[in-house]
Structure 1
Amino acid sequence: MTDCIFCKIASKEVNARIVFENERVVAFHDLFPAAPTHLLVIPKQHYTTLNDVPASEALILGELMTTASQLAADLGVAEDGYRVVMNCNGNGGQSVYHIHLHLLAGRKLTWPPG
């Protein structure tokens, strides 16, 4: 996707504070953090929304989650607690249409979130 900011980050066309990368996933700091720790974990492959991930490619969703879990441990926030969120479409709070997880930590997170 030529207009997708997350695709541009994944391909290194746009700079980001990347904290993790492998062949399939990139994690970086959110520009507008909602918690002291706020990372975004994205697949390098573009999927517009969660609804667009075919069952045949669902393993990427597990990799996003396990990457978030490992990052929480690496950052020392796993024991205190953290939140992993994926928004889907406008009413679900999605503002960038490339699937991504938010990893939030570093303060007490309340419920409901919004």
Structure 2
Amino acid sequence: MDNNCLFCRIVAGEIPATVVHETDTTLAFRDIDPKAAVHVLVIPKAHHADVVALAQDDPAGSAALLAACAAVAEGEGLRADGFRVLFNTGGYAGQEVFHVHAHVLGGEPLGPMLAIR
């Protein structure tokens, strides 16, 4: 655990979150500033700075994270109409918390993936 990491502190129970799915290795909770009707963050409980670090350090953890994303999408009723799974990696991508996390977004039309430049 990184004591300075917001998501590590959520995993430790130090900061409350609205949990929607949990396994031995993953935790999924509602985003406090949702960008869609459904916006859930899915994280590994172990600290990895970003998706590249997770893939390199723990390939099985990567698979578990994606399985948790699928379970969240199913649990939130998103499969029929579609949903998006998004990883922001690094400053240019807008990563704000440097603990790998997937955004599961849906529940309404999401529009284009990127803004037109």
Secondary structure class of the residue paired with 1:51:
helix
* Structure 1 segment 12-91 matched on structure 2, within 5 A: 12-53=13-54, 55-91=56-92
TM-score normalised over the length of structure 2: 0.91
The one-letter amino acid of 1:41's match is V
Cα distance in 2 for residues equivalent to 1:24 and 1:110 = 32
Secondary structure class of the residue paired with 1:94:
coil
Correspondence for 2:11? 10
- Mean CA deviation greater in 29-38 or 51-60: 51-60
Question: CA deviation digits over 1:24-54, x for unaligned, max 9?
Answer: 0000000000001000000000001223225
TM-score normalised over the length of structure 1: 0.93
- Mean CA deviation greater in 24-33 or 56-65: 56-65
Structure 1 residue 69: Cα displacement: 1.1
Correspondence for 1:100? 101
Aligned residue pair count? 114
Is this contact kept in 1: 2:28–2:41, CA < 8 A?
Answer: yes
The one-letter amino acid of 2:81's match is D
Cα distance in 2 for residues equivalent to 1:95 and 1:109 = 21
Cα distance in 1 for residues equivalent to 2:57 and 2:35 = 33
Secondary structure class of the residue paired with 1:45:
coil
CA 1:39–1:54 in 2, change beyond 3 Å: closer, same or farther?
closer
CA 1:88–1:79 in 2, change beyond 3 Å: closer, same or farther?
same
